[in-house]
């Protein structure tokens, strides 16, 4: 993760796996019934082979080298997640940031094929969707590059109505929108 510290990410994952209240977990104010779930989630995460790299502004070549090394050490990788695409640095040879994002996107596609491993790249969206009446994201909202749309095998958007409409009837519900 280039956006979040490894410890912070691990705490979020523990809370998610154990279905724990993130605020109580973060503040250490767990209830008696939370402890068995926390213990179970710690065990599950210990059993999973997880590697979190919090190197800032990682470029595609560094990611490829680290992924290859990890595959040699641990065997076939099951999944690579990039948090998030726009925080990666490009080669510097691009004319602009959109060109760099295109290069990064193509490189991630190549990495997935080379390692025979799915790569999930999180991406930011343009703020333009906030100006529309319907705030559900669409392909043109992907930030800085149409190449993401071309290179991706699947594009999913997450939409929560309560973010834009505080009185929403759908509080606590997220829609998964299949963009591609």
Q: Which residues contact 52 (CB under 8 A, 6 or more apart)?
A: 1, 6, 9, 10
Q: Using a pLDDT cut of 70, give the percent of the chain over it.
A: 96
pLDDT in tens, 83-96: 889 889 887 766 78
pLDDT in tens, 141-150: 887 767 888 8
- pTM score: 0.82
Residue 3 pLDDT > 90:
no
| Sign of the dihedral defined by the CA atoms of residues 83, 61, 178, 144, in that order | positive
- What CATH superfamily is the domain 55-178? P-loop containing nucleotide triphosphate hydrolases (3.40.50.300)
Model confidence at 1, in pLDDT bands (50, 70, 90)? low
- In 3-state terms the chain splits into helix, strand, coil percentages (rounded to 5) of 50, 10, 45
Question: Residue ranges per domain, the chain?
Answer: 1-49, 55-178
pLDDT in tens, 106-164: 999 999 999 999 999 999 888 888 889 999 999 988 877 678 888 999 999 999 999 99
pLDDT in tens, 7-43: 888 888 999 999 999 999 989 999 999 999 999 999 9
């Amino acid at each position: 993760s280039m956006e979040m510290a490894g410890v912070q990410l691990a705490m979020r994952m523990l809370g998610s796996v154990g279905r724990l209240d993130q605020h109580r977990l973060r503040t250490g104010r767990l209830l008696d019934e939370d402890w068995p779930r926390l213990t179970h989630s710690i065990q599950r995460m210990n059993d999973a082979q997880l590697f979190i790299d919090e190197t800032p502004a990682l470029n595609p070549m560094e990611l490829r080298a680290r992924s290859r090394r990890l595959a040699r050490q641990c065997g076939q990788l099951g999944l690579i997640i990039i948090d998030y695409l726009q925080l990666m640095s490009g080669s510097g040879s691009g004319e602009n940031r959109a060109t760099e994002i295109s290069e990064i996107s193509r490189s991630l596609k190549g990495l997935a094929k080379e390692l025979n491993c799915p790569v999930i790249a999180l991406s930011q969206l343009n703020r333009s969707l906030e100006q529309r009446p319907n705030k559900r994201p669409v392909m043109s909202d992907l930030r800085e590059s149409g190449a993401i749309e071309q290179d991706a095998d699947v594009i999913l958007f997450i939409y929560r109505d309560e973010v834009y409409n505080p009185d929403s009837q759908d509080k606590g519900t997220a829609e998964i929108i299949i963009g591609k």
